[in-house]
Amino acid sequence: MAGTIKLNSGYEMPMVGLGVWRMEGKSIRDLILSAIKIGYRHFDCAADYQNEAEVGEALEEALKSGLVKREDLFITTKLWNSDHGHVLEACKDSLKKLRLDYLDLYLVHFPIATRHTGVGTTASAIGEDGVLDIDTTISLETTWHAMEDLVSKGLVRSIGISNYDIFLTRDCLAYSKIKPAVNQIETHPYFQRDSLVRFCQKHGVCVTAHTPLGGAAANTEWFGSVSCLDDPTLKALAEKYNKTVAQLILKWGLQRNTVVIPKSSKEERLRENFQVSDFTISDDDMDKIKAIDRKYRTNQPAKFWGIDLYA
């Protein structure tokens, strides 16, 4: 077990979780039940993944059969861009689909409000010009205060942000009554983002690494990006520690004190990704990994949005 990290909300979050992005409906049940049997307790979902209902069925089965208790699970989901003006309804919709009474963590998926398309519908709202239809009437501060209301209503235990840079995180800390507990960002050996990671941690915001393995096949297929899994430095270090490259990268993430949520659709990979607590990467080898940073983002929603929000 990789252990837990204490959030500024007072709750404990398991440091290794399972991301369910791009998990297909039929396979979800078996994957989630297998993951729970292996020891996973942290599952990272999102309305935009369009599979909350299937995840909910699997969780309900796991809870009803006594495989796991609700208080031992840590379930995250996310507010989609088109629901910034409908935070309460969107949260309730996710809870209903996930068959839960409360969420352990609810995140603002991206720091951008787009044209509302109806709660539970998460297609990107593209305008006639082929560009994301951004709603300029809803501020991130307004969205955040609606997130805070979810905590006081008992629907959500912790709230956080996702894909926020230093400036937006700083602003959120300034206007928040309830501080963001987490900032979930893309970070891996080719996109280390040390300044952002250290800024968040300095101010008590836990960093969760989405795409912690650099996206592997999924992002190559969707965005044409290259994964660090084939990096010669990482391959040599993995051999040295007698681990797979994925295990080495996940351990590197954990040693940075970040939470990692690798996605896998194969049971042997689920098991492998979870078994990272029996070795430590030396300071020298951590420095070697630091030296391969390419400042290379692999998750590029601009491909679908007609606009690069990171430009």
Cα end-to-end span (Å), the chain: 39
Residue 109 marked as a ligand binder: yes
Tokens representing 215 are: 């996206």
Q: With beta carbons less than 8 A apart as the criterion, state whether 213 and 244 touch.
A: no
CA distance 56 to 302: 30
Q: Which residues contact 25 (CB under 8 A, 6 or more apart)?
A: 51, 54
Contact by Cβ (8 Å): 75, 41:
no
**Cα 127 from Cα 133, distance rounded (Å):** 5
Number of residues that this document lists for the chain:
311
Beta partners for 14? 4
Question: 255 by DSSP, 3-state: which?
Answer: helix
Distance (Å, whole) CA 207 – CA 205: 6
Distance (Å, whole) CA 142 – CA 147: 9
- Catalytic residues, by residue number, are 49
The Cα–Cα gap between 296 and 311 comes to 13
Structure token pair of residue 196 = 């952002």
Half-sphere exposure at residue 108, Cβ-oriented, CA atoms within 13 angstroms: 30
Which two tokens mark 99?
A: 């068959």
Rounded to an integer, what is the distance from CA 311 to the centroid of its chain?
22
Could you give the CA distance from residue 13 to residue 130 in angstroms, rounded to a whole number?
39
Residues contributing to the annotated binding site for substrate: 109
Residues contributing to the annotated binding site: 109
